[in-house]
Amino acid sequence: MIEADPYFLGYRQEEQDRLGRQALELAADSNWLFDHVGVSAGWRVVEIGCGPQGCLGLLAGRVGAAGRVVGVERSVEQAQRAQSFVADCHLANVEVLHADGRKTGLPEQSFDLVTARLVLVNVPQPEGLLQEMVRLVRPGGIVALHEAESSTQRCDPPHHAQTRLLELLNASAEMDGIDRTIGSKLPRLMREAGLADVRVQPWVHAYPVGHGRRMLLLDFVENARVRMLGQKLIGEAELNELTALLKRHLEDPETLVLSSVFIQAWGHTTDRP
């Protein structure tokens, strides 16, 4: 039985579709990380919170027929989507488990790499996920994370609707114990979890008109709409007005849209016996 957890982005149909597109949009950054980690043929890898696709395809290609990739996903719909993706792409070296990443049931110290992308930034008590990731890695194996830090998410010219909606999202997340600035805390959290030689790579992107992530803030507001109204952080009329204003601003090709800073951090477990 998977316990309830106020996962920040929720499971609207539109959000599940967005995560499918995200797999392609973030593939270049993830490939950079896997190059630096050195993911190679024969590796055994776990991806926690793989969503409908995540990095399963990228990892499967790298570890090859002699390797193994396990995706772990707590949402039954997302796990089913990931299973269909694996079947459609004939990824014989990948399996997807419908399980909680805090308690996967997988054998300890049996994987060369355990990774997660944009999972810790959306859940309360991320340390529990990290602990399980460390438990799964073999002595000397690697934990690699890719998370966000929302403070660089902005546009130019600045717009009060953008500032206000970002504040609301952060406040709403905080009320459920979710830290949207966790990205920059990753190296510290990883060292505290017992990982050594933690290395870091930050990325910030500009999203031009037509880019699938240009409207991301509005997508997130829609995901969190019911929650924010329920939390009495804002009334519906004001929320509608702010989203309409921001949409117009982001549709203007002259508006510069900058992403959150994405922090990739990776480190290894010490060579325990």
Name the minimum Å distance from CB 10 to ligand SAM: 9
**CB nearer ligand SAM, residue 164 or residue 213:** 213
* Nearest one of 110, 88, 86, 114 to 193, comparing CA atoms: 114
One-letter amino acid for residue 190 of the chain: M
Peptide bond into 157 cis (omega under 30): yes
Torsion of CA 135, 136, 140, 146, to 10 degrees: -100
CB of 218 to ligand SAM, least distance (A): 16
Specify the residue, 70 or 72, whose C-beta has the smaller distance to ligand SAM: 72
From the CB of 142, what's the least distance to ligand SAM, in Å? 17
Cα separation of 124 and 172, whole Å?
12
Footprint of ligand SAM (CB under 6 A): 5, 7, 9, 19, 22-23, 48-51, 54, 72-75, 78, 100-102, 117-119, 122-123, 129
Least separation in angstroms between residue 13's CB and ligand SAM is: 14
Nearest-angstrom CA–CA distance, 209 and 250: 8
> What is the C-alpha to C-alpha distance for residues 40 and 139, in angstroms, rounded to an integer?
17
Token pair belonging to 217 = 């803030």
Q: Which is nearer to ligand SAM, 68 or 117 (CB)?
A: 117
To ligand SAM, the closest distance from the beta carbon of 271 in angstroms equals: 28
- Name which of 146 and 249 has its Cβ closer to ligand SAM: 146
Residue 224 contacts residue 233 (beta carbons within 8 Å): no
Nearer to ligand SAM, 110 or 125 (CB): 125
